[in-house]
Amino acid sequence: MEPTTAPEKACFILNPKSGVRSSISVPDLISEHLDTTRWTPEIIFTEYAGHATELARKAAADGARLVVAVGGDGTVNEVARGLKDTSSALGILPKGSGNGLARHLGIPLDLPQALALLNQPTFHHIDSCSINDHPFFCTAGIGFDGLVSSVFAKSTKRGLSSYIQLVVREFRNFKSEAATVKINDRALTSDFFVVAFANASQYGNNAFIAPMADIQDGLIDVCLIRHVGVAEAIQLGYGLMTKQIAHSNLAEFHTCSTVFVQSEGPQCFHADGEFMGQAQDFEVQMFPKSLEVVAALEPKAK
């Protein structure tokens, strides 16, 4: 007889408030679809902001091979923070409204299919970044991005339609702020509508701010968008949803490992869509291959 391998520990961290599909019983799905010859599951619910990071860090310290974030981009960010530079891998059961990192990593949005991916896992190491010491794994940004995140944080409505309504409303009154962006020994000064930092290719909902971004290349993709009017904003929106923003004359792209931004006035900023506060000085850093994940990433051409 061939020796059997004991199942490894998989900790599922659930945010009960994530997304718009609250009627789905994730514990029941885990019980029905998870291969218990591969994984021994533990299910824990978060109770407050930041709790998922604490739970993930403890799960890693306790030897969990897999720690699964069940929720949206905010929950994924919190769990990933606790797993950076550990021997535990991040899994994702996407249950949010945007699911940016899950989409980039090729994780099915259908939860039974996402569980099937965990049953036959392929492990990869991906990059992570930080903005003013706040970790992010997908995108971060200042300017209009940051303002929208601050308003969305106060909203009780979720979902793509609510987000679009908010964007349209806030765009009417937004004024670009003068700032200097220092990239690769160059200083670029302008009134910027958005300064976006991409580790992954998209914000979520298949809105691609940096379609060419590679989450394993050790580089930050910086997207600079200067002040735009209504017509240009519509063009940008189309570019985001069709991956054509990379070919737009409204957006300028750079790659680097560190970025510094100095703004003339305080600006809102976000990390993975979560509002982080306001600042005038920003430092964005890259941490190559600092997080292990279960993903369905396409192999890169050599």
- 302 pLDDT higher than 50: no
Out of 128-132, 230-234, 248-252, 287-291, pick the least confident: 230-234
Give the model's pLDDT for residue 158. 63
Name the phi and psi angles at 298, rounded to 5. -75, 135
For residue 229 the two structure tokens come to 């009017």
Relative to beta strand 134-136, strand 123-131 is: antiparallel
Residue 301 confidence (pLDDT) above 80: no
Q: Residues of CATH 3.40.50.10330 domain(s) within the chain? A: 8-121
- Homologous superfamily of domain range 8-121: Probable inorganic polyphosphate/atp-NAD kinase; domain 1 (3.40.50.10330)
From the list 278, 276, 262, the residue with the least C-alpha distance to 140 is 276
The pLDDT of residue 121: 96
Is the torsion defined by CA of 168, 170, 175, 178 positive or negative? negative
List residues bridging with 268 in a β-sheet: 278
Give the CA distances from residue 210 to residues 214, 216, 285, in Å, rounded to whole numbers and listed in that order. Answer: 9, 14, 17
Q: Which residues contact 166 (CB under 8 A, 6 or more apart)?
A: 148, 151, 152, 155
First to last CA, the chain: 41
- How confident is the model over 187-232, as pLDDT tens digits? 999 999 999 999 999 998 899 999 999 999 999 999 999 978 888 8
| Residue 202 DSSP class | B
Domain 134-288 grouped into CATH 2.60.200.40: yes
Residues 226, 193 contacting (CB under 8 angstroms):
yes
pLDDT of residue 186: 95
Please tell me the predicted confidence (pLDDT) of residue 282: 98
In the chain, residues under CATH classification 2.60.200.40 are 134-288
Q: Cα–Cα distance between 29 and 293 in angstroms, integer?
A: 21
Residue 20 sits at φ, ψ, to 5 deg, of -120, 10
pLDDT at 19: 56
Residue 258 banded pLDDT, cuts 50, 70, 90:
very high
Structure confidence by residue, pLDDT tens digits, 104-123? 999 999 999 999 999 999 99
Average pLDDT over residues 172-181: 89
pTM above 0.85, yes or no: yes
**Two tokens at 55?**
């739970």
What letters, b where the CB count within 10 A reaches 16 and e where it falls short, cover 94-132?
bbbbbbbbbbbbebbeebeebbebbeebeebebbbbbbb
pLDDT: is 177 or 45 the higher one? 45
Is the pLDDT assigned to residue 276 strictly greater than 70?
Answer: yes
What does residue 72 show for φ and ψ, rounded to 5 degrees? -95, -165
- Residues 259 and 284 sit within 8 Å (Cβ to Cβ): yes
- Amino acid in position 88: S
Question: CB count, 10 Å around CB of 207?
Answer: 20
**For residues 55-80, average pLDDT:** 97
